[in-house]
Chain A
């Protein structure tokens, strides 16, 4: 950069700094409040969560993309079998069901047989 350009930039910077120093008290107070609000929000659980939003969004998009591109997954099941199973297992009757798991397995096989027939 030419010397004259440097001098120009220095003068511009000096003028700018003077205008910064001249900011009024009300403006400085507002800036102070804004800063504290920013730090407070970052400290809050919502702020903590916000840090993970971009990563979670990317992960969800990648997962969605994989699900779409995998062979045999052309249609998206609104509730996959695994999720439905977990739902049943976490229900109140899950213990009773677990005791009679063999019966339910047999019933499942019989129903599939009926569907085919």
Chain B
């Protein structure tokens, strides 16, 4: 084998190796996004009270994560993804606030919040008895309304810790604050929700 052939062979093997690594990374990213996308949608939906807007926010978060942070270690993806998503939700609220101010200026208040009907947007029943489905649906509606009523930071801490299952460190990265703040926000959120939902707890079965 002459030098040129050897150089070509090394270069080809190197390119193949890089290509294989990129493909593996993409497959891992695909699996990660497939795993979180449904929970992320529901979390965004609780945040903005609109499924279409929530779908847009999740798509934007996916594009930004894949485009900017796809080559980061996959252990960092969840906090980064939720950080992007939470920023999107906050931006959405800022835009809504501006829009509402403009609409009030022109004499047309925003009635989106008043029109929001958790029952109408409740998911379709799948595989459970109608009674059980109804009970769960009503309980989730109550929980959703109570979570929506929380201050933003408490809501974020509660949803990321409880719904997504991020640990304190991951939640701190996602929220862009210290771990101590996460613990405080989470604790206050739980306390506030328990007060709102009463002694029966979120599922209405009593919290013992």
Which residues of chain B are within 8 angstroms of A13 by Cβ–Cβ distance?
A: 162-163, 165
Question: Which stretch, B34-42, B89-97, B100-108, B174-182, touches the partner chain A?
Answer: B34-42
Q: Across the interface, do A41 and B66 meet the contact criterion of CB distance under 8 Å?
A: yes
Expressed in whole angstroms, the Cα–Cα distance for A112 and B52 within the complex equals 68
**Separation in Å of the B129 CB from the closest CB of chain A?**
13
**Could you mark each residue 183-208 of chain B with 1 if its beta carbon is under 8 Å from any beta carbon of chain A, else 0?**
00001001001100000011101011
Which residues of chain B are within 8 angstroms of A7 by Cβ–Cβ distance?
A: 201, 207-208
The number of residue pairs between A and B whose CB atoms lie closer than 8 Å in the complex comes to 121
Q: Across the interface, do B30 and A35 meet the contact criterion of CB distance under 8 Å?
A: yes
| The one of A5, A11, A19, A35 that contacts B123, using a Cβ cutoff of 8 Å | A19
Q: Across the interface, do A39 and B140 meet the contact criterion of CB distance under 8 Å?
A: no
A interface size (C-beta, 8 A): 36
Is the CB of B126 closer than 8 A to any CB of chain A?
Answer: yes
Is the CB of A103 closer than 8 A to any CB of chain B?
Answer: no
Question: Which stretch, A24-32, A71-79, A84-92, A94-102, touches the partner chain B?
Answer: A24-32
Q: Across the interface, do B38 and A12 meet the contact criterion of CB distance under 8 Å?
A: no
Q: Across the interface, do A8 and B202 meet the contact criterion of CB distance under 8 Å?
A: yes
| The one of B29, B58, B68, B70 that contacts A31, using a Cβ cutoff of 8 Å | B58
Which residues of chain A are within 8 angstroms of B202 by Cβ–Cβ distance?
A: 8, 11-12, 15
- Chain B interface size band reads 35 or more
Q: Given A9-B162, A13-B162, are A51 and B125 also a contact pair (CB < 8 Å)?
A: no
Could you tell me the dominant secondary structure of chain B's interface residues?
helix
Which residues of chain B are within 8 angstroms of A9 by Cβ–Cβ distance?
A: 161-162, 190
Name the residue of chain B whose CB is nearest to the CB of A25.
B124
Q: Across the interface, do A34 and B55 meet the contact criterion of CB distance under 8 Å?
A: yes
Is the CB of B33 closer than 8 A to any CB of chain A?
Answer: yes
Which residues of chain B are within 8 angstroms of A41 by Cβ–Cβ distance?
A: 63, 66-67
Q: Across the interface, do A15 and B139 meet the contact criterion of CB distance under 8 Å?
A: yes
A-side residues, CB < 8 A to B, are: 1, 4-5, 7-9, 11-16, 18-24, 27-28, 30-32, 34-35, 37-39, 41-43, 47, 50-51, 54
Q: Across the interface, do B123 and A30 meet the contact criterion of CB distance under 8 Å?
A: no
Q: Across the interface, do B123 and A23 meet the contact criterion of CB distance under 8 Å?
A: yes
Which residues of chain A are within 8 angstroms of B33 by Cβ–Cβ distance?
A: 35, 38-39
Expressed in whole angstroms, the Cα–Cα distance for A38 and B26 within the complex equals 11
Which residues of chain A are within 8 angstroms of B110 by Cβ–Cβ distance?
A: none
Which residues of chain A are within 8 angstroms of B63 by Cβ–Cβ distance?
A: 37-38, 41-42
Expressed in whole angstroms, the Cα–Cα distance for A35 and B70 within the complex equals 13
**Separation in Å of the A8 CB from the closest CB of chain B?**
5
Expressed in whole angstroms, the Cα–Cα distance for A35 and B66 within the complex equals 9
Q: Across the interface, do B124 and A24 meet the contact criterion of CB distance under 8 Å?
A: yes
Name the residue of chain A whose CB is nearest to the CB of B159.
A16
| The one of A5, A15, A20 that contacts B143, using a Cβ cutoff of 8 Å | A15
